[in-house]
Structure 1
Amino acid sequence: MIRLLLSLPLALLLLTAPARAAEDASFAVEAGTYRAHVPASWDGSTPLPLLIFFHGFGQTGEVVMGNTELMTLADEEGVLVIAPDGQEKRWAHQGAPLRERLRDDDAFVRSILADAKQRWPVDPARIWASGFSIGGSMTWHQACFQGDLFTAFLPVAGAFWRPHPESCPSGPVTLMHVHGTGDTVVPMQGRPIREVYHQGDVLKGMAFWRAQNGCPADPAEVTETGDLRCEIWRGCTSGRELQLCLHPGGHIIPMDHMARAIAWAQSQTGSR
């Protein structure tokens, strides 16, 4: 059975402070702040893989740091985790509500990466982006518009908003997306928000990424692990790999998937 992270409302009640406060720290850059968790096993010199994790709506980087399962996984895998703080606890991703009043989050991400590389020996071949809900949408946005900053994308329960991009400046990407088919907060087919904004369709978004990557319509392989079913596209003209992993649950992060996703990102090193 897949272990699940708490859904958003309960998470906001229970994950109000970082569980590893003594090891986690907050840093400021010109446009905002971010939190960082250095793996407990790090020897102080070995290059570190970096995972930037974008929080969900109404959350902060502190909530991400409070996810003890994610922090434990980071310790086990030796991954530096950075959790940026969204302005007004949201992200200015493509199609986002009230995006025009928010800061330039693309510039914010660039400044975080530059700052992190000055503080820690970040491995340039292992820089990954992930996020939950609108943090997942922010991950898709980064893949489309700043894909050259990262080597793999691991979004959860959040994809493009409408109108979908017609093309992406970054070109092909290495991406594994996970979503619950029972998700009603960010449904697979998307939904309108106040009849003004619209969450996008996950399957249409994946079809877009297949076109960007030069992948065939049908996956090369389908795997099933517990409740998680993954369609895998290999043999794309870009040389990149795409995965769509679905589970029957709702708006949650399946934590067993995060372990699988990080292992997969590690395996994709050098595929750029």
Structure 2
Amino acid sequence: MDQFKFASGALTFTSVLGFSIAFGGTAADAACDDAGICTFEDGGSYHIRTPDTAEGETIPAVVFLHGFGSSGEGTLRMRGTVKALQDRGYAVIAPDGARRADGRRSWNFFPGWDGRDETAFLQSVVDDAKERFDVDPERVVLAGFSAGGFMVNYLACETPDMFAAYAPVAGGFWRPQPSECNGPIRLHHTHGWSDTVVPLEGRYLRNGTFQQGDIYAGLEVWRDALGCETHAPSRVWSEDKDHVRQWSCGDNSEIRFTLHPGGHAIPQGWADKMVDWFEYAQPSQ
């Protein structure tokens, strides 16, 4: 199985997906309108919804990356998920993926693709939200669905300390997957047993041009990165129709893998389950 060690710039081929945006924005560049849409001068934008909190208090946040072809506005249309997070006291930050040549938005997640530096863009988003909306950068979870979930995994692999935790839904790595990742991280991975868009075993795209990776193979990379002593999970249990496995490998080194019976979707109740996990037994400082 062909693999490479994850490193920014390790590959030099150009993406055929049509990304062409570079990003050099800073918090000072952003301008926000009354609808909660913040745009950077150098490209890129994000949407935000904040909870009802006492003035002067810093707030935790979930930065949620949309799936292929969607947008930050599309993320906010997930009203049940957004409301659940707001009710728990979290801001919901919904960045816009870069536009491709065909006009649709996605994320420049695969190493070596030509396009926007997503790590720099997302760091600027968090920095801006900190200054404008009192978001606590030490309590920000990076989550994402499908293509956004792939982006979550790759960013976590390269810069594990950028966010407090990572919560991909229906997204892992592509082939060739990283041979190793940096750590430690806290990872909350959710996937559908019946998912045919991003199957657990992976699949080929564009007539074999790309290959989605095996989710279980990706979890093995994460266990190695976190220094887990065994591949066997620390705990296995069921919650309603979900099957859950957890590896606890030390402070700030944890994987929770939830397999729900549905397909390519964010399952009902995901927001509360993810927040419960994030807030329970916070790692020691």
**TM-score with structure 2 length normalisation?**
0.81
Match of 1:183 in 2: 195
1:167 aligned counterpart, secondary structure: coil
From 267, 271, 275, the counterpart of 1:258: 271
Match of 1:219 in 2: 233
* Matched residue count: 245
Using the TM superposition, give the Cα deviation of residue 53 of structure 1 relative to its aligned residue in structure 2, in angstroms: 0.1
From 244, 249, 258, the counterpart of 1:230: 244
**How far apart are the structure 2 equivalents of 1:95 and 1:107?**
15
Structure 1 residues 260 and 24, CA gap change in structure 2 (3 angstroms): farther
Aligned AA for 1:185? V
Match of 1:19 in 2: none
Match of 1:4 in 2: none
2:137 aligned counterpart, secondary structure: strand
Q: Structure 1: any 5+ residue segments left out of the alignment?
A: 1-21
**How far apart are the structure 2 equivalents of 1:159 and 1:143?**
11
Aligned AA for 1:111? S
8 A Cα contact 1:95 1:197, kept in partner: no
Q: Deviations over 1:210-232 (max 9, x none)?
A: 01111121111112111111101
**TM-score with structure 1 length normalisation?**
0.85
Aligned AA for 2:204? P
**How far apart are the structure 2 equivalents of 1:156 and 1:75?**
19
Q: Structure 2: any 5+ residue segments left out of the alignment?
A: 1-32, 100-104
Report the identity percentage. 37
Aligned AA for 1:188? L
Structure 1 residues 23 and 182, CA gap change in structure 2 (3 angstroms): farther
Match of 1:16 in 2: none
Match of 1:116 in 2: 129
Instruction: Please give the residue correspondences for 1:49-128 in structure 2 after superposition, counting only pairs within 5 Å.
Output: 49-88=60-99, 89-94=105-110, 99-100=113-114, 102-128=115-141
Instruction: Please give the residue correspondences for 1:121-200 in structure 2 after superposition, counting only pairs within 5 Å.
Output: 121-168=134-181, 170-194=182-206, 195-200=208-213
**How far apart are the structure 1 equivalents of 2:199 and 2:111?**
16
More helix by percentage: 1
2:49 aligned with 1:37: yes
8 A Cα contact 1:154 1:175, kept in partner: yes
**How far apart are the structure 1 equivalents of 2:132 and 2:281?**
25
8 A Cα contact 1:37 1:80, kept in partner: yes
Bigger drift between 87-96 and 157-166 goes to: 87-96
Q: Deviations over 1:124-149 (max 9, x none)?
A: 33110101001111111121112211
**How far apart are the structure 2 equivalents of 1:270 and 1:48?**
18
Structure 1 residues 268 and 154, CA gap change in structure 2 (3 angstroms): farther
